[in-house]
Homo-oligomer: A and B are copies of this chain.
């Protein structure tokens, strides 16, 4: 039995993807069940069962049959390391290479498994050790510290409330492009003007324009209320 110490044990790309997905599911409350994992990774649930066994054997997660899956300390470290890479790469591509923000996600998704730690650190240094990626997500430190506060979304705001957009979900380039068109980007302030009933569209004031967004999209824009 080897006690791991500092040196990362070289995880495969798929393994890193599982750990990232589990981390994110854990954070968003869901207990990281086989089906959710499968959906998020676009993989058949049966395949997840197999991988989950292997991850548990490697001590990266704990698994209670028919319950869910949970990261161990070492799994969490690995997940955060991958997330750090991903977000630094995204930020670097945007800032240093003028990569369009709706396309950095896919590129980073592949690069995060191929970059050495040294390269990632050099990229971070080159752009001034950023704290957030282009979508507003916080970047974990080398040591695995990360701001884990949860933000509410536009859909949680009441009419009249003013809030600053902090972060948008980066899971679809189309959505990002659309939000950019509307001017809804991390940093801008919005005010809720109107909410249609029955989970209907929300009208917000942004910049000096008035925009209407559906509730599904509203739930993917995270904000911090302003006093």
Contacts and interface: CB of A to CB of B under 8 A. Distances in A.
A97 B120 CA distance: 10
Given A110-B114, A114-B113, A116-B107, A96 B96 contact: yes
Interface of A: 93, 96-99, 103, 107, 110-111, 113-116, 118-119, 122-123, 126
Contacts of A113: 114
Contacts of A114: 110-111, 113-114
23 contacts: A93-B119, A96-B96, A96-B126, A97-B119, A97-B122, A97-B123, A97-B126, A98-B122, A99-B119, A99-B122, A103-B118, A107-B115, A107-B116, A107-B118, A107-B119, A110-B114, A110-B115, A110-B116, A111-B111, A111-B114, A111-B115, A113-B114, A114-B114
Q: Which of A111, A114, A115, A122 has the most CB of B within 10 A?
A: A114
A115 B108 CA distance: 9
A111 to B, nearest CB: 5
A93 B126 CA distance: 12
Given A107-B116, A107-B118, A113-B114, 10 more contacts: A96-B96, A97-B119, A97-B123, A97-B126, A103-B118, A107-B115, A107-B119, A110-B116, A111-B111, A114-B114
Contacts of A110: 114-116
Contacts of A96: 96, 126
Contacts of A98: 122
Contacts of A103: 118
